Structure 1
């Protein structure tokens, strides 16, 4: 099993990123600082050894015959430490020094101005300064300085830099985790609150006033998401309620007819009548399901397609005449109007309006189709009792009926569903003023 070494939390990842970034900078700065310090220490050692050699050479005179004459200063103790004086290649003065250092000083005699280093355990820097007699070198002064103190200083500073860098990185990591954790605490609180709200279906929302700009934006987006989810939930609950409410009547009819048939033997005519009633109720259930599910599928999408409004209205008129021969006939006026919705959706919009008109019309139902710039108007008019002024637009509310005691079946879902279907297609349905009966106007995008 593969184990990921990347922290699982945002706080850990941000702290690790800050640690890595700081580590790179600390490493670069430490390297630059120690390189610069080493160069400064080497330059300081060079200056010291040159100064000592120059001071000793100032006390020497070269005679024309090549002899070196030394003029002793008042205090030459400091000058004699680590100083070699050569006449030609012969040492006329040697300090007490290891053999390795003696040999290296002898190699510098007579070579002109030069310098060299010895390795540990006797780390020294030697510098040779020629003593000139005219245009020729009569002797050489070799000065030395120990490098152990300089190297110790450089190593100590390097160790201190590494230790300080480690402490700095530890502090950066801990502080970053604490700061990021504190900064993300409101996000954790928002997440916990959202989890609690999702369990109980609460209508609470996040406040945006007391948060920083970024968190306020997040809270606003979460509020919009919760509002959309709540709207979807309400719609689903409404759809379920509408289905159960509307299906209750045909289901009750089917149950009653089935119980009536099973109660005792019936003659063929009674059985045929019951079977027709059951078939009618089942067809009604199918129609209700198709209408409700069509609305659910199209509520968030612009419905594509085209349909001839007059043709759909005539087809529905013929079907209504066959199913309800006792009802008033439907007159369709107008041709050539093409709506920008499919014929199936057009039918689902008109069926509740025609059913409503069939229930209340006294003797006349008219469907008027006309085209306007960018839209199509379909007006369904009947000469019935109309919609009372006390009801008005409330007739489009689910479960609301203009005349609940009229003896007709229905649950008051047809008109609300027709309006939602029209609005899902980019149109609308309104109740228009009418001197007689009811007048509903459907507006849809032109095809």
Structure 2
């Protein structure tokens, strides 16, 4: 068998672009930064709003209590008298019945010289703490009531002339008090309801922030998709309108892409010129090799043949790389159609019509390979199988891990495992009687490696040679 190869210069495929919602969780994610900033801002604003609402509600309750106490105090002052014999008295009942129900939470008390002289029935046997002496500014203050109630008290000083001694005035402190339990419960309930409402508001704000960030970053996602299309060869520039903040970046990228495309075209032209310039001299040298072989100059012929094979491999490799770099594969190549076309060509070659060609390839399989390179790869494999097969050549293909794995096997003598490495050496031929230059598998190996693929040799069940290679797949259609 007449096949050879050297260590290929593999072309490293670009790293796949991370996709999916998990992308925004990566360290340094712009989406994550914007979302965190929005969430922190929302939490701070809502927390400040919650504290403010609770404080305002508490102040409102305090003012309501103060107004109620003022009203009760006005009524108490209007009922307070000194009898004809100078005895203090409250002539009348205050309107709120709680003043008459023991320990109800609403109380009044009359003091003179710091001592309680009159008090409401609701105080029963309890005496409120003395109010400030005359001269102190009347105000709201706290105190302790019956059953350790927390009271809010209001007092007022009243100066009356003693009817029993008109030359004498007496000063009294009139005090009203109210239990804070009810208002404290209202404040607690309001705080709980405010926390629940504001928590729900925070959740809504987080959802809204995520939606807002997604809308804001949508142009970048669109730009990313367009760049990916360029990398895949499906587009040559970034088209369309973008927001003012993104448009300068788009213009700079288009400029960079243009510069790179021109550089690639120049490199491709140079590689093509070099390759085509070498082909004619190589053909002449090859013809001279055959002449030397016929003249029994075997040693000289082998030396020249080795150099020719090296130059041929170099030419084919550079042509393939030039095609790949200049025009990345866009739409995939239909593998079944390509193999069928090559099989028909093989059938027109010697022994081709005597061999049974079995092609078992799903119709939807497509490979990301240029047609010229696919013809070179599979043409060499099929031609090699044609030369060595006894009756049958089988071609199968399948998808594995996003790649198309193709197998070309024959029922020929095969290659012993101990000699497979030798088969892949440049110019090595197992059988000099079979026509060929020894470049077939070498060229195939180089081309497959250029696309980031792999090539391996093995045995069929019947002992023939099985060549398996993997190439990148593309979506059908």
Scaled by the length of structure 1, the TM-score of the pair is 0.48
Structure with greater contact order relative to length (CA < 8 Å, sep ≥ 6): 2
Provide the TM-score with structure 2 as the length reference: 0.45
Q: Rg: which structure is higher?
A: 1
